[in-house]
Amino acid sequence: MSTKVLIIGACGQIGTELTTALRKTYGFSNVVASDIRKSDNEVFNQGAFEVLDARDKDAIKACVEKYAITDVYLMAALLSATAEKQPDFAWDLNMNSLFHVLNLAKEKVIQKVFWPSSIAVFGENSPKKNTPQHTIMEPSTVYGISKLAGERWCEYYHKNHGVDVRSIRYPGLISWKANPGGGTTDYAVEIFHEAVQKGSYTCFLREDTSLPMMFMDDAVRATIDIMNADAESVKVRSSYNIAALSFTPKELAEAIQEFIPNFTIAYAPDSRQKIADSWPESIDDTTATTDWNWSHTFDMKAMVSEMITNLQRELV
Ligand code: AKB
């Protein structure tokens, strides 16, 4: 049977670029994008789009049947900062959407599921540096709790119902095509927009807050690679650590100054600092490398160069 993809939450930061990449892989007619509302990004005028609430199982099932979908990428979620403000809604969206999709796979209505987890599954008692694949996980945020619970459910559905679910723990993702929304790592995208447009930025995290990050091209490639890997090589069915970069706001500002020498940064930490302080500084991703050959390609300099070149062309 040929692959037919549904992306739920396609209009977000990852979904936008994933939609383009999956269409390149499977063809326009085999990829359906969906979200609670359509964004005005051109990407969504170029192929099938459905307005879909990720909390509505019947609507997801109807869409899956309409297009004979085989693989679902469930990208809809409330991220860390927003989830703290709306815990009930975050739990409802982040958990029930996952149950709906896992149950469709259990009922054999679909064949394969991708579900994103996050470095937010770790907490204050996890090792901060090179956080291992398997370690203490005591997340202290609504978002992190929902992602850790989701990971346990993914593994449970795989072991007990044979569901082919695959997942990676994304670090902060840096991209210029679509903006993030409601995350703690969002500063690492905002800083580029303000550097290019205003030459200055006030960061909501302290200058010495080191967090794991990745350029979007690597994140999208990881997503597609794990979905294309042989089932036997995907041994972890909760979620895989993946890693690329780790830097502080100060280090990022210095890297931007290499391209925009007059750029200045100030610091005004807010409630997101507490979230960042509970997360790892860097991640050990050797299990993903061993199991399905993962490695990142963008280093700090290449990422900063891509961001500035593309935003200067788009925004100035
Ligand atoms: C967030 O900051 O909430 C996300 C994440 C690390 O999962 N970008």
Which residues participate in catalysis according to the annotation? Answer: 143
Q: Is residue 40 part of a domain?
A: yes
The verdict on 228 and 253 lying in the same domain is no
The verdict on 74 and 178 lying in the same domain is no
Nearest 5°: the CA angle 137, 233, 163 is 70
**Looking at ligand 1, which atom is closest to the CA of residue 79?**
3
The verdict on 165 and 205 lying in the same domain is no
For atom 7 of ligand 1, the residue with the nearest CA is 118
Q: What is the CATH number of the domain that holds 135?
A: 3.40.50.720
The verdict on 123 and 187 lying in the same domain is no
Q: What is the CATH number of the domain that holds 186?
A: 3.90.25.10
Judge contact between 113 and 106, C-beta under 8 A.
no
Quick count: other Cβ atoms within 10 Å of Cβ 283? 24
For atom 1 of ligand 1, the residue with the nearest CA is 183
pLDDT at 182: 96
First and final C-alpha spacing in the chain: 46
pLDDT at 247: 98
Q: Identify which of 79, 70, 62, 55 has the alpha carbon closest to the alpha carbon of residue 6.
A: 70
**Looking at ligand 1, which atom is closest to the CA of residue 185?**
2
The verdict on 93 and 111 lying in the same domain is yes
DSSP state of 131: B
ipTM greater than 0.90, yes or no? Answer: yes
The verdict on 204 and 302 lying in the same domain is yes
The verdict on 73 and 182 lying in the same domain is no
Helix-, strand-, coil-residue percentages of the chain, each rounded to 5: 45, 15, 40
Instruction: Give the three-state DSSP class for 212.
Output: strand
The verdict on 109 and 164 lying in the same domain is yes
pLDDT at 292: 98
The verdict on 253 and 236 lying in the same domain is no
Judge contact between 131 and 120, C-beta under 8 A.
no
Domain count, the chain: 2
The verdict on 18 and 102 lying in the same domain is yes
The verdict on 237 and 106 lying in the same domain is yes
pLDDT at 263: 98
pLDDT at 316: 84
| Pocket of ligand 1 from Cβ distances under 6 Å | 79-80, 118-120, 143, 170, 172, 183-185
Q: Is residue 292 part of a domain?
A: no
Q: What pTM was estimated for this model as a whole?
A: 0.97
**Residue 107 alpha carbon to ligand 1 centre in Å:** 31
**Residue 109 alpha carbon to ligand 1 centre in Å:** 30
Angle between helices 13-26 and 216-228 (to 10 degrees): 50
For 168, the enclosing helix (H) or strand (E) is: strand 168-170
pLDDT string in tens for the chain (316-residue length)? 799 999 999 999 999 999 999 999 999 999 999 999 999 999 999 999 999 999 999 999 999 999 999 999 999 999 999 999 999 999 999 999 999 999 999 999 999 999 999 999 999 999 999 999 999 999 999 999 999 999 999 999 999 999 999 999 999 999 999 999 999 999 999 999 999 999 999 999 999 999 999 999 999 999 999 999 999 999 999 999 999 999 999 999 999 999 999 999 999 999 999 999 999 999 999 999 999 999 999 999 999 999 999 999 999 8
Q: Is residue 287 part of a domain?
A: no
Instruction: Give the three-state DSSP class for 45.
Output: helix
The verdict on 228 and 310 lying in the same domain is no
Tracing tokens 């090792």 back to the chain, one arrives at: 127
Q: Is residue 289 part of a domain?
A: no
Q: Is residue 127 part of a domain?
A: yes
Q: Is residue 293 part of a domain?
A: no
DSSP state of 198: T
For 183, the enclosing helix (H) or strand (E) is: none
Q: Identify which of 24, 59, 18 has the alpha carbon closest to the alpha carbon of residue 41.
A: 18
Q: Is residue 13 part of a domain?
A: yes
| Domain carrying residue 263 | 173-213+244-282+298-315
Q: Is residue 71 part of a domain?
A: yes
Mutational test site, ligand 1, from 143, 190, 241, 279, max ligand atoms within 8 Å of CB = 143
